[in-house]
Amino acid sequence: MKKLLFISSLLTYSYSQDNLISDGPYIFIDNGNLIEKEIIDNQVFIKTLKPSQFDTLFYPSKSIYKNVSKIAALSDIHGQYDLFITLLMNNEIIDKNLNWIFGKGHLVINGDIFDRGDQVNETLWFVYKLELQAIKNGGMVHFLLGNHEYMVLYDDLRYVNPKYKLSADLLDLDYDMLYSNKTVLGRWLRSKSTIIKINNVLFTHGGISKEFVSKVGYDIEAINNTMRISIPKLKNLRKLRKSKESNEFYDLYFGSQSLIWYRGFFKNDFTSSELEDVLNLFDAEHIAVGHSTQKKIVQLHENRIFGIDTGIKKGKSGEVLLIEGDRFYGGSINGQLRELNQ
Ligand code: ZN
């Protein structure tokens, strides 16, 4: 067991004094057996599940969808489970019993469920279950990986809520091992995409930089595959980067100009013609991105860009982007719609 940093231990300690934590379940895959570990009031409960109870193999979904009748998208949930549920409920994506009522619609979560807040695991399990329900109803849930998913996968734990340091201690594991390739949620995460296109709209966490497309290209399926197969190598790549050895691959796919970190869309010097060039390459009309926090959903460059990180991480409010045909709306926490005008 790795030693926690001194400052993190202090945080963990103060957290544990005031709160008994409950967390999980975490389901570990051990030689074909499923072992469930759950924490209730600081006590760990372990049981063996029937192997049929959860899938252990997850296959990537495709990256491009056409003729989807309605789309909802939101981003940067950061462990704010209650607010996330309220937004989905009041915008008629789920009912009061948390069941899918969005029919054949697609719900996109533009990344960053992990870090900051203290209900990350609850949110992940809810998305996991909603995804299965949506498929049964002819719809889909797309959970795209953001920089904070990749950070946990490559063991950069700077933003993990102190609660989870205590969870990891109680389970006698490092935090990243709670989502390793030997867990159900860890395998599920590793099957996810980073960029998708639905109808004429692209979705990704940060944005698409000129630098990225000029070097990587615009084959969405290939980009997702490259990022998926890189995950096992990421820890080492990060070390190489730390030691300042050149690492073009890491910079391209996981650096500041990558899909998951890029903030250029929101800079003053970003031009419509630069955007036009990028969208044309992907044969898309619009792009919805999270990562750069706004008060409400913003539209930029005549509805070409939608900024959909609406500060859910603060735990107070947020908005859902709703798309039907060529109409775009912001759905509020109370379920009120405002049309996003050009
Ligand atoms: Zn982010």
CA of 212 to the centre of ligand 1 (A): 17
CA of 154 to the centre of ligand 1 (A): 15
Q: Checking DSSP bridges between strand 33-40 and strand 43-49, what pairing results, if any?
A: antiparallel
CA of 79 to the centre of ligand 1 (A): 13
CA of 74 to the centre of ligand 1 (A): 12
CA of 34 to the centre of ligand 1 (A): 32
CA of 115 to the centre of ligand 1 (A): 10
CA of 295 to the centre of ligand 1 (A): 15
CA of 292 to the centre of ligand 1 (A): 7
- Both tokens of residue 45? 């409960």
Provide the 10 A C-beta neighbour count for residue 218. 18
Q: Checking DSSP bridges between strand 195-198 and strand 64-65, what pairing results, if any?
A: parallel
> Consecutive sets of 10 residues in the chain, 342 residues long: mean pLDDT of each?
40 57 96 94 96 94 97 97 98 98 98 95 98 98 97 89 93 94 97 98 98 96 96 79 68 94 96 96 98 96 96 94 96 96 72
CA of 71 to the centre of ligand 1 (A): 21
Q: Which residue has the tokens 């549920």?
A: 85
Which helix or strand (DSSP H or E) is residue 16 part of? helix 6-18
- How confident is the model at residue 241, as a pLDDT? 66
**77 contact partners, CB below 8 Å, separation of at least 6:** 83, 84, 109, 112, 113, 117, 123, 312, 313
Handedness of CA 250, 201, 191, 170 (dihedral sign): positive
Query: How far is CA 273 from each of CA 11, 250, 269, 270, 279, rounded to the nearest angstrom?
Result: 48, 28, 11, 9, 10
265 closest CA partner among 209, 212, 321, 342: 209
CA of 336 to the centre of ligand 1 (A): 26
CA of 146 to the centre of ligand 1 (A): 6
CA of 103 to the centre of ligand 1 (A): 29
CA of 311 to the centre of ligand 1 (A): 11
CA of 114 to the centre of ligand 1 (A): 10
- How confident is the model at residue 199, as a pLDDT? 98
CA of 148 to the centre of ligand 1 (A): 6
How far apart CA 46 and CA 39 sit, in angstroms, is: 9
CA of 32 to the centre of ligand 1 (A): 34
CA of 256 to the centre of ligand 1 (A): 11
CA of 99 to the centre of ligand 1 (A): 27
How far apart CA 268 and CA 236 sit, in angstroms, is: 36
Q: Residues with beta carbon < 5 A to ion ligand 1?
A: 112, 146-147, 291
CA of 110 to the centre of ligand 1 (A): 9
